[in-house]
Amino acid sequence: MASLAARLFTETYGPTHPEPELSRYLARSFSVEGTREAIADDGVTMLIVEDPKGSAIAYAYLRSSADPPAGVDGDRALEIVRFYVDVVTQGRGVGAALMDKCFDDGKNRGADVIWLQVWKEAPWAVGFYARMGFLVVGSAPFYFGDQVGDDHIMAKSL
């Protein structure tokens, strides 16, 4: 899971998030130990999509969100911490099917809202989330070394 997450982040953002900070970010955000701890957390769900050959091509990392950011309205929030689909499989329904599973997970856990943070300069991602029913409800910074991104907070009622 950790290596899949690091690979997909690099595919998606490597060209816009240069070295050496990329390697530092990957080490901090996608360590095996950190992934192991997240998987063991009762408030976390990790979903993986495999192709017919058994290769991992997408994943989602969701967690209970007791204190969601301003603009996320609900009594029981669920955050999509990470959601990535291999670029070679994008546009084939993999992301939509995975997002539907995220919605199912949220409903099964009694969540009434699901939210995520997405880089404003990633129009493909913002557009996908909008097509899946998410609305922009706020903004938040994303720190990547000395680079500070301006992200959307997007939410959807379940």
Q: Which fold does the domain 42-157 belong to in CATH?
A: Aminopeptidase (3.40.630)
> pLDDT value at position 139?
95
> pLDDT value at position 145?
67
Q: Please confirm whether the linkage preceding 52 is cis (ω < 30° from 0).
A: no
Please report, for the chain, the start and end positions of each structural domain, with discontinuous segments joined by +: 42-157
> pLDDT value at position 135?
98
Coil, strand or helix at 65: strand
Q: What pTM was computed for the model?
A: 0.86
What is the mean pLDDT, run by run of 10 residues, along the chain of 158 residues? Answer: 82 73 79 89 95 94 94 96 90 94 97 96 92 97 76 97
> pLDDT value at position 27?
78
Strands of the sheet containing 147-157, edge to edge, are: 44-50, 56-65, 77-85, 113-119, 147-157, 135-144
